[in-house]
Each structure stands twice: as C-alpha cells, then as structure tokens.
Amino acid sequence: MSRVAVSTPDGPRDVPAVLRLVAELPGLPGHDEFSLEPLDDEGVLFALRSAPEGARAVRLFVVAPHVFFADYAPELEDDVLRTLDPDDDAADPVLLAVVHPADDDRARHSANLLAPVVVEPRHGRARQVVLDADLPLRAPLG
C-alpha cells in the first residue's frame, strides 16, 4: 500500500495514499474513495481525487491546518474515533482542512476549520466531521 507524508504538529505522519470514507462527504454521494495526492514536498497541500466507476470525477484541495493555524487542535468525540477504528487501537488521527478557493467575493483562499477531514493513519479510513465548536467555516489562509 502506497503512503503519503502529511505534516502534523508532531512532525510528518505517513497515511495511505488512498482514503476510504466511512461516510460520504456532504454533497458528494457515491464518492467514498479518494486518492490523496501531494502537491508540495512539505506535506501541507494535497489534492483529494475521486472517480468512481460511472460517476463524475471530483477534486478537492486540502491542507494540513496546523501550518496556517498554529492553535488549531479540535477535540474529537469518541464516537468519531470509533467509526474510524472500531477495534479502538488507532493511532492519533491526522486532520486535513478542505480549502475554498479565492473568487470574486473572497480575495484569499480559505480553509474549513469547522469540518475537518479526520484520517485514521494506519488503514486510511476517513470522514469529514462537523465539530461542536466555535470555529470558522472559511478561515483565510496565508
């Protein structure tokens, strides 16, 4: 199984290059497997690509949020962690934030800190989680 290094507050962590979602991303039915493709050498910026048989290809950009938001360390509910690893022996999860590209209304790219993609690093099970916290949906990057 191919692996990819992702930057974390504790240093780089290897995760599988293919992520299998335990719940579909909101608005993307039928997409439950994504390749995680590095777009830099630091493990900060990635493309998530999905092209299931017979479905339209989808590409999202994600970042390692701690690089842009040093204090970002949301608490995850136990049930979220159990859905990623029912055996409860998972390593600490890796967090990725979905990027919203800049457009006519926003001059800068932003990251969704309210709903990170949580990745179990051994097997690559993942899910997007809406946190019960006062965090921005579009936090400006850079």
Q: Per-residue pLDDT tens for 47-89?
A: 999 977 667 889 999 999 999 999 999 999 888 888 898 776 6
CATH T-level fold of 3-140: BH3618-like (2.30.290)
> From CA 95, how far away is CA 82, in angstroms rounded?
16
pTM over 0.85: yes
Per-residue pLDDT, 142: 79
| Closest among 5, 135, 8 to 70, alpha carbons compared | 8
Domain boundary assignment for the chain: 3-140
